Amino acid sequence: MVDKKSVYELSVGGSIPDTDIIDGGLKVDEHDFVPHFQRVSISGEDTSGVPLEDLHRASKMLIDALHVREEYMTMSNQSFPLLTSRFLRSGKEGPDIDHHVHDDKKTVEDHPVHAPQSTGDPWDCDFPPVSDCVIKLKAGVFQVYPDDTTETPLNYPYPDLATFIADMNKLCCMIADGPLKSFCYRRLSYLSSKFQLHVLLNELRELASQKAVPHRDFYNIRKVDTHIHAASCMNQKHLLRFIKKTLKNHWDEVVTETVKDGKMTLNEVFQSMNLTSYDLTVDMLDVHADRNTFHRFDKFNAKYNPIGESRLREVFLKTDNYLNGKYFARIIKEVSSDLEESKYQNAELRLSIYGKNLDEWDKLATWAITYSVYSDNVRWLIQIPRLFDIFKNNKLMTNFQEFINNIFLPLFEVTKDPQSHPNLHKFLQYVIGFDSVDDESKPENPLFDKDVSTPDRWSDEENPPYAYYQYYMFANLTILNHFRRDKGLNTFVLRPHCGEAGPIQHLVCGYMMAENISHGLLLRKVPVLQYLYYLAQIGIAMSPLSNNSLFLNYHRNPLPEYLARGLCVSLSTDDPLQFHFTKEPLMEEYSIAAQVWKLSSCDMSELARNSVLMSGFPHKMKQYWLGPNYTKEGVAGNDITRTNVPDIRVAFRTETLIDELSNIFKVIYKDGGML
């Protein structure tokens, strides 16, 4: 065994006293131990491979960018990695940061003996008393005032639109900087090569440590599907079987009502299509993505309609319909039952709030509670489709402010007085965050003008840019999180679709405002952003099978490259209805990735551990799944008996990240101050 002090000496070069600082970044705890494995050390003080001038300039820009993200994450009550935060803090406040080293340290006594599960009514919860606060709107962002007479809102910090645009412009200029691009590309190439050397030297050790763990293997470690849509969380065979069963048992149930046809039973709906239960096949259902959907998001969206009929989608796959989503609730519960049976698979299902009217939240919450759509293996994300242009063209609203009101006003009302929306208050305890969805490849005007219209004046038929949507979601979410935290309620995170297609500015927005993102394919083209995503350890939920049908052939997917470099990536299914064939779509995703990219058992376990870390499941559940100390950095936070990830791999990742951060910070800061 080698003590941690020696490990850090190896990772940064040279020797250090027992209680000294590593390049102004992190204090050593000599009582923590890491496993012995073969490391590659680079001789000399300067390990960047670039002239000192270039290193100094690149380091300053990267540190500025990290400060921007930390500020936005702190404001919005979202997470920022402790390790990177300590380096940033040591530069600003001096070297004495020992009090941060043991943050979030958990003891074995904190560890749940049994898996945390709901007992009794899962919707039972406390109702805090009504608040005297007043909610008012200011330039598109809801503000909380102590009372009606006070003109100054509560001190809930958030960036105004001009500040956000200035920060985004600064980052956009940064990622286009030639010398910085070269520096980041070299560091990313170095990370890839270093990982290949690590595997070459330590693969057998990693495998041996996995084999030495009793009971645990890849099949019985916890995995979370971090990106999956509720309306397509079942496979095509499951949907077909469900439709046939429903048609057989509930053929006489009235399922829809239209002005033209009046009320129609399920049997009459199928008769109008000249179909019987016997006729239905998977091919006729036609919900699977194929070669015709490649770069055709319009055709892909049409696949959500079974047999090409939007009426069937409304009957079976919607929460707000004539039956109040009864059939959709049943099939979601069947999927949840499959997850519970598998025990080790979990999902964060996305439900839609369109922003068409103020009643959507209450209807969604009533749907969930009426049909008891709950599972210990499922948490909810709310996806907001970027469809203002369609609502505007159909004269459903006059300006963008109405869209924001419909999404956020009910959330502020229920936070102020839970009794005003009792079902919504109960439902929100299982909502973990917000997603932003639509076809990213649609052309748009980038958001660079500080004088852009506020939402109450945005009445164009043109859809606002991606960054405009993200800013107002982030700003309102930030105020809402402050308000909910003060009342002792759970807060939310922003986890949008980002970087699947479209402009690079989307990824800049994700870097600034999102705790995690989904897809992130375009990072492969932007070395500066990719390196920043690595340094900030931003979670990226990747769906190679989905991308293969829509935007990027499987063999070109950057996931194995991201994983090798140490980015925090996980595997997810996106839409099992369109892309998967088996009863366990997440395992299908893992198995195909393992076969095509020759992933080792250690790689697969690392991806699974990442998925749990970036998920929104409760702290107690994560403790049970990953170990009592999972919030600590490095080996101290890993429990191989639960994660099946060898300490060797975790130590390598942590030391490499420390090495990269040290490489940047040691040029800029010396003894806690600027050089």
Helix (H, G, I), strand (E, B) or coil at 19: coil
**Quick one: DSSP state of residue 214?**
S
Q: What is the pTM of this model?
A: 0.88
pLDDT at 8: 42
Q: 579 near 550, Cβ under 8 Å?
A: no
Active site residue 519: yes
**CA nearest 226: which of 574, 487, 579, 482?**
574
Name residue 138's beta-bridge partners: 141
Q: What are the φ/ψ torsions at residue 674 (nearest 5 degrees)?
A: -70, 140
Low pLDDT (below 50) residues in the chain: 1-32, 92-109, 671-675
CATH number of 210-648: 3.20.20.140
Spatial distance between the Cα atoms of 161 and 478, rounded to a whole number of angstroms: 13
On whether the CB atoms of residues 384 and 327 are closer than 8 A, the answer is no
What pLDDT sits at residue 113?
53
CA distance 424 to 308: 33
Q: pLDDT tens across 615-635, in order?
A: 999 999 999 999 999 998 889
Angle, in degrees to the nearest 10, between helices 527-535 and 505-513? 10
Contact 540, 192 (CB under 8 A): no
User: b/e string for 456-488 if b means 16 or more Cβ within 10 A?
Assistant: eebeeeebbbbbbbbbbbbbbbbbbbbbbeeee
Residues 624 and 111: their CA atoms lie apart, in Å, by 7
CA distance 382 to 436: 8
Q: Residue 64 class from Cβ within 10 Å (0-12 exposed, 13-18 middle, 19+ buried)?
A: middle
Structure confidence at residue 115 (pLDDT): 65
Instruction: Please provide the DSSP assignment of 52-87 as one string.
Output: HHHHHHHHHHHHHHHHHHHHHHHHTT----HHHHHH
Whole-number Cα distances in Å, 257 to 262, 265, 267, 311, 387: 5, 9, 14, 10, 25
Q: Which amino acid is at 477?
A: L
Closest CA to 528 of 81, 84, 168, 180: 180
Please, what sign has the CA dihedral across residues 159, 161, 164, 170? negative
According to the model, what pLDDT value does residue 5 have? 46
Asked if residues 385 and 352 have their Cβ atoms less than 8 Å apart, the reply is yes
In eight-state DSSP terms, residue 574 is B
Could you give the strand order of the β-sheet that contains 516-519, starting from the edge strand earlier in sequence?
497-498, 516-519, 539-542, 569-571
Distances 672 to 24, 317, 661 between C-alpha atoms, Å: 6, 57, 15
Output the pLDDT for position 669: 65
| Spatial distance between the Cα atoms of 33 and 27, rounded to a whole number of angstroms | 14
* Alpha-carbon span 228 to 232, nearest angstrom: 8
518/64 Cα distance (integer angstroms): 25
Q: Which of 519, 555, 580, 619 is catalytic?
A: 519
Report the C-alpha gap between 512 and 70 in whole angstroms. Answer: 8
DSSP for 502-549, written as a single string:
S-THHHHHHHHH-SEEEE-GGGGG-HHHHHHHHHTT-EEEE-HHHHHH
pLDDT, tens digit, 9 for 90 and up, residues 144-197: 998 888 888 888 999 999 999 999 999 999 998 888 999 999 999 999 999 999
372 backbone dihedrals φ, ψ, rounded to 5°: 50, 55
CA distance 481 to 651: 34
Please provide residue 43's backbone torsions phi and psi, each rounded to the nearest 5 degrees. Answer: -75, 160
Residue 213 near residue 233 (C-beta atoms within 8 A) = no
